[in-house]
Chains A and B, each alone.
With several copies, the nearest count.
Chain A
Amino acid sequence: MMTVTAARFLLDGQVCFVGIGLPSEAANLARLSHAPEVVLIYESGTMGTTPDVLPLSIGDGELAERAQFVVSVPEVFAYWLQAGRVDVGFLSAAQIDRFGNLNTTVIGPYDQPDVRLPGAGGAPEIASSAREVIVMLRHTRRAFVPQVDFITSVGFGQAGEGRTGHLGRGPTLVITDLGVLAPHPETNELRLVTVHPGIDVEEVREMTGWELDVSPDLDVGDPPTADELDILRQLIARTREAHSR
């Protein structure tokens, strides 16, 4: 449902900066369904790539062979992301707070971490320079915290102060397995705008580490269509088959 929901938000022709996992799944679902002209950029430098199976790593051969062109990593970040040519950047995180700040660095204090996470990667500049950011992560109390332990990639700032100096509008959507959150137009605080079918608002509140605000015009997402499920299943089947080789 997360994948399908995210895919639906992508418009045909948009340029998407994609990471591995759910974002890659969603962007390719969009490409194979309603948005055939969506342009996929992976930070490995594969530009306009059309993978037949989902990559396990950001640098799979599949991505290079099926790319329109391939550039160096310095060029991806300088000429393409930093220059403002990316419409939608996908991010995930171990923690997200009420103002959409993301943590992929450490749980606990930086110098004595309880859990050392992989780190920043391309995220801080995607969060800053992509026109908008779609965050995808599972909805748990451990992930949705009042304040992240470490701001790896900024959303609307520690106090929701906003985005002065950034090229992009920041996290406009947070898509979880329970629903969709979006920043409040004035306060920048994330609030629930959509629940997935069969999900109860109380459940979402429970899974959120802060007093979750709910939009007055909350709606319920449409279940995946047969087409969407079909394309997705085939994509995942092809992928599993290819990677088990």
Chain B
Amino acid sequence: MAEFVSLPEAIGDLVPDGTTVAMEGFTHLIPFAAGHEVVRQGRRDLTLIRMTPDVIYDQLIGMGCARRLVFSWGGNPGVGSLHRFRDAVENGYPTPLEIEEHSHAGMATRYTAGASGLPFGILRGYLGSDLVKHTDVAVIDCPFTGEAVAAVPALRPDVTVIHAQQADRRGNIGIWGITGVQREAALAAASVLVTVEEVVDELVREGPNYAVLPHWTVTAIAQVPRGSHPSYSMGYSTRDNRFYTRWDRVSRDRELFARWMDAFVVSQDDFGGYLAAVEDESLLERVLSG
């Protein structure tokens, strides 16, 4: 049954050191606020799962919160590299990062298997790719036709964290637009934390790809308006594309990254503080100029 809590409480309870956590979002509805709170609470040794680790995972990795990353595409969408992610993989800075990588189709199949209570899932995939030499993929034969298909193990995060548009007062979640693999990631996890833009009396129940996560599948809910910034929440905010472009410069440089994280995240009390800080161009100037 869903409980309404503060974000610090929720992260404190559900994301201790060493947790296997999936903070999902496919460029839309990325749970940045939750990621920042993990940074503020100084978590360590996390196993991070995500199809498309982007800036928030770059920040978590750069701050040394993660021991392992399970993913299928790690870049700054439309911009380029995640430099903190690269620095961790290429140079073990600030700490070495184990990686387990799949294709998108493989990750989606793994989450779907987890959500379906199956130990594995099957797909036509990985054929001819060197990925099979470096990750957990098996080939099985169809018991009816003999055709070979790929099998991948189910994903079952300790906790899945997503950001959604709405929760009603009983804790039912309303989410729409590009929902990526979030429903599957939530249904595959042992516990589920949802940050929402708004708590409403009645879910709106419209919009493309509208879906509901009933309250009895959700562990905790924290309201964090604009909690997906610089990503967006369809119906509530638009994507801060400039932020993503600027991130390239910040993340290239270890010291600049550290200064930025301290100024915009660590030294802020909460996500509201961060949102105010990113509005303040002069702060960014000071951070950039050291």
Q: Which residues of chain B (49-108) have a CB below 8 Å from chain A?
A: 51-52, 71-75, 77-79, 81-82, 85-86, 89-90, 101-105, 108
A62 to B279 Cα, complex, angstroms: 24
CB neighbours (8 Å) of B102 from chain A are: 120
Size range of the interface on B? Answer: 35 or more
Instruction: Select A45's contact among B1, B179, B238, B242, beta carbons within 8 Å.
Output: B179
On whether A72 and B234 interact (CB within 8 A), knowing A83-B116, A115-B90, the answer reads: no
A122 to B72 Cα, complex, angstroms: 8
Q: In the bound complex, do residue A64 and residue B130 qualify as a contact, i.e. CB atoms below 8 Å apart? A: no
Please report the total number of A residues contacting B with Cβ < 8 Å: 65
Q: In the bound complex, do residue B103 and residue A73 qualify as a contact, i.e. CB atoms below 8 Å apart? A: no
Judge if B120 is at the interface, Cβ distance under 8 Å.
no
B120 to chain A, nearest CB (A): 14
Q: Which residues of chain A (179-236) have a CB below 8 Å from chain B?
A: none
Q: In the bound complex, do residue B108 and residue A119 qualify as a contact, i.e. CB atoms below 8 Å apart? A: no
Could you tell me the dominant secondary structure of chain A's interface residues? Answer: loop
Could you tell me the dominant secondary structure of chain B's interface residues? Answer: loop
Nearest neighbor of B78 in chain A, beta-carbon distance: A56
B1 to chain A, nearest CB (A): 7
Q: In the bound complex, do residue A61 and residue B124 qualify as a contact, i.e. CB atoms below 8 Å apart? A: no
Q: In the bound complex, do residue B214 and residue A74 qualify as a contact, i.e. CB atoms below 8 Å apart? A: no
A120 to chain B, nearest CB (A): 4
A47 to B216 Cα, complex, angstroms: 12
Q: In the bound complex, do residue A77 and residue B104 qualify as a contact, i.e. CB atoms below 8 Å apart? A: yes
A85 to B217 Cα, complex, angstroms: 9
Q: Which residues of chain B (232-250) have a CB below 8 Å from chain A?
A: 232, 234, 238-239, 241-242, 244
Q: Which residues of chain B (172-199) have a CB below 8 Å from chain A?
A: 172, 177-181, 183-184, 187
Most buried by A among B77, B79, B105, B116: B105
Q: In the bound complex, do residue B117 and residue A58 qualify as a contact, i.e. CB atoms below 8 Å apart? A: no
A180 to B26 Cα, complex, angstroms: 33
Q: Spot the interface stretch: A3-11, A26-34, A136-144, A152-160.
A: A152-160
